[in-house]
Chains A and B, each alone.
Chain A
Amino acid sequence: MAKKSNKNVYIVALLLLLGGLGYLLFSGLSQNSVYFLNVSEALAMPADELSNIRLFGTVADSGIEGGPGQMGVSFHLLDKNGGERFIPVRYTGVVPDTFKPGVEVIVEGGLEPASGVFGARTLMTKCPSKYQKQRDEERAAQG
């Protein structure tokens, strides 16, 4: 019957789609996945595993060279959950407007094993979005 042959064609088409999708997913997951780490987690890992990671942290008050409106900035990245230890970061592109001490940033790039400096390809400050409660928390912390 036509019904059966139709069904088989659909099964073949579905398998082809799933195969293609599986291949794309597999290659994407193996090549485009990066560790999402906090500073403390990154410091706990061997340096050779940190060649391509996304790092979350807070900009330290001291050690900033360059800044918003300029090309490039060097700064110390603290763990956003507190603590003293930091990773020095160097970034050469355009620095976002919202970059300043104490702000949460995300950097993508890798650690240069020789110097121990994190070379950032991208620097993103967290979008100070409408839903944030950060300002209140900051005030509470200061108050």
Chain B
Amino acid sequence: MHLFAHFCLLAAFTVSIALAGLSLYMAWTGRRTASAWSERGQLAVFALIVAASAVLTRALVARDFSFQYVAQYTDTFLPMFYTLTAFWAGQAGSFLFWALSIAACGVFYASTDHYRRLSPETRVWFWLFHSGVQAFFLYILTGPSNPFLELSPAPAQGNGLNPLLQNPGMIFHPPLLFIGYAAFTVPCCLALASWLNGEREEWLPCGRRWVLFAWMFLTAGIILGAWWSYMELGWGGYWAWDPVENSSLIPWLSATAFVHTAIIQSRRNSLHRINVFFIALTFLLCIFATYVVRSGVIDSLHAFGRSELGAPLMFFMLAGLFVALVVTFSNRAADARPLDELTSRPGLLFMAAWLFLALALVVFLGTMWPVISSMWSAKPVGLEPAFYNRVCLPLFALIAVFLVFCPWLGWKGGLRDKRMFIAVCACLVPAAAFLWFFGVKHPVALVGAVSAVVGIAGIVGLFATQKGMVGNGSMWAAYGVHVGLLLMTLGVAFSGPYKVEAEAVLNPGQSMRIGAYDVRYLDNREITTPAMACYEVRLAVTRDGKPVGELTPQRRAYRNNDNVFAEVSVIPGLGDEIYATLVGSTREGQASLKLSINPLVNWIWIGGTLMTLFPLLAFVRRKA
């Protein structure tokens, strides 16, 4: 079976190379007949990758430890559900999943109406780029990162999946990211092909929908990742500006910039070239993200280890950038019309795109700083999380400010509704005073929180007063995402600077105080299941003598793993969330506890959920 699966991938690699070569030849000689072959070939590549994936899935289900990959990431004690998710838990498997997603996207796109309406030349170019990308991934899978290596003799037992990954958040986080990354391939290839063929507009509506789809998955992946680190790592934080976290944020930021400049192109017929470049950039930044994570170029908290993937990924990235630049500047068509006034809706959208790009640049610089600084300094210099907070949070606050004003500006300048605009502006001062009075004195947090509150009120007002908004699906999609973002801003503005933390060692019966809450250690117990042994303490939380709830943080010892892991416990709330980690315990029942009060933290998850769900409405409307 190892050989069969490996052969499938090799065959898929060969077919992809052949298709890319065929497309190149056809494009070169100006013939138009290649695309029918490409469609069939794409189907074959997809079928071959599906066959290889089926082999891996079967090996996982059967726990066939003669597969090195299966032995590395599962064991016989692992529940079936997590065993299946081990498909994308390791490096080679995640690349296979990514390649599968790319091939599936290609097959799906080739079956759409939009594809059928493409000019034959554009189709040839599209398949050239798409097959090229696909061939690169298949090269990785048949060479440096092979999921079908055989282990002989097969061990009786596998290594087991890392307990930190045995959490629902971690099951869905990687595939969501990979589907997001993979879905950027189609719009990128489409935009480049179309632009190369001298077309300016044709690709945009379809390309934008693909980007929106990819963006939705990427957003969901990033937010789930943050939620996982909050719930599973036990430190009460959700974002640490670690290189691995940053790397998936960078393509997200550039995709977000594209979504905004694409609106300007479709509404105001300008920024064509910028859009082509942005979408290509976004795709390349996905590869960059993988490069940062897998190449070991930067010392990260995550021990991803050095692998042989650095050089091919780097080469592919540079080659891709070269192609993107050549294609972007190949089309001489000038923008059809000049930019609108700065104080119009397109003006602010354009500036928002600048801000997103600036953020992407800052995160990129910060992440790569140890590498960049090594050019002139013998000792690498890196940046603390405080750097990102100092530079990025003001930019995010500025984006929130834009969201207060932007909806009220007209497409051609001027105001949509003067009275409502004045009403919204008038709300800013009392909202700021109110929040200041309640202790929000941190300037960036204050600007962010005020913008969030007034911005949400403004959007509600917009739907209440403007005609045609309520029945418009894409308006709901856009403003729903913005409300989600503003709620997240609110959550970050409070949960960051106003978090209260305390650590204590308690005996049963003892109490501690944190913020306005009293926490009393009631008792403890042991729970044993076949997969783990677990020690749990029970804590009663009261506020002013009234019970608030019970916390049951645990420490878990998993079979097949030397470490003990803390399982946090929370009393969720829309205001304060009380968060407890059991750091350690003694035989006598003494417990070392770490507690924190995280104000408004759940609004980050609520806002994040809205951001991932509302874009769906944009698709529903189009189908209707």
Contacts and interface: CB of A to CB of B under 8 A. Distances in A.
Contacts of B90: 130-131
Given A32-B387, A100-B562, A69 B379 contact: no
Given A14-B354, A130-B73, A130-B165, A24 B394 contact: yes
A93 B174 CA distance: 31
Contacts of B387: 28-29, 32-33
Nearest to A35: B379
Contacts of B583: 69-71, 94-95
Interface string B242-285: 00100000000000000000000000000000000000000000
B333 interface: no
Contacts of A93: 503
A45 B73 CA distance: 41
A104 to B, nearest CB: 6
Interface string B124-161: 00000000000000000000000000000000000100
Contact of B383 (A6, A14, A34, A129): A34
A25 interface: yes
Interface string B568-591: 000000000000010111000000
Interface residues of B, number: 64
A129 B302 contact: yes
A84 interface: no
A54 B300 CA distance: 12
A135 B581 CA distance: 27
B294 interface: yes
A37 interface: yes
A128 B370 contact: no
Interface in B5-36: none
B437 to A, nearest CB: 29
A25 B342 contact: no
A41 B377 CA distance: 13
Contact of B391 (A24, A68, A95, A100): A24
A4 B565 CA distance: 63
A69 B162 contact: no
A134 to B, nearest CB: 6
A19 to B, nearest CB: 12
Contacts, number: 155
B51 interface: no
Interface stretch (B56-64, B176-184, B303-311, B545-553): B303-311
A97 B565 CA distance: 6
Contact of A17 (B358, B383, B386): B358
Nearest to B593: A94
A3 B373 CA distance: 41
B619 interface: no
Contact of B303 (A9, A41, A71, A126): A126
Contacts of B354: 14, 17
Contacts of A134: 303, 305
B563 A100 contact: yes
Contacts of A34: 381-384
B505 A71 contact: yes
Nearest to A93: B503
A124 interface: yes
B200 interface: no
A130 B89 contact: yes
A28 B391 contact: yes
A41 B338 contact: no
Interface string B325-357: 000000000000011111000010011001100
B381 A35 contact: yes
B337 to A, nearest CB: 9
B555 interface: yes
Contacts of B383: 28-29, 32-34
Interface of A: 2-3, 6-7, 9-10, 13-14, 17, 20-21, 24-25, 27-29, 31-37, 41, 45, 54, 56, 68-71, 93-95, 97-98, 100, 104, 106, 108, 124, 126-136
The 4 closest A-B pairs by CB, nearest first: A69-B584, A32-B387, A126-B303, A36-B382
14 contacts: A7-B338, A17-B354, A28-B386, A28-B390, A32-B386, A35-B381, A45-B379, A54-B382, A68-B564, A100-B563, A106-B301, A127-B303, A131-B91, A136-B72
Given A21-B395, A28-B391, A54-B384, 12 more contacts: A2-B338, A10-B339, A17-B354, A27-B390, A35-B382, A56-B299, A68-B564, A70-B583, A104-B303, A128-B303, A129-B302, A133-B305
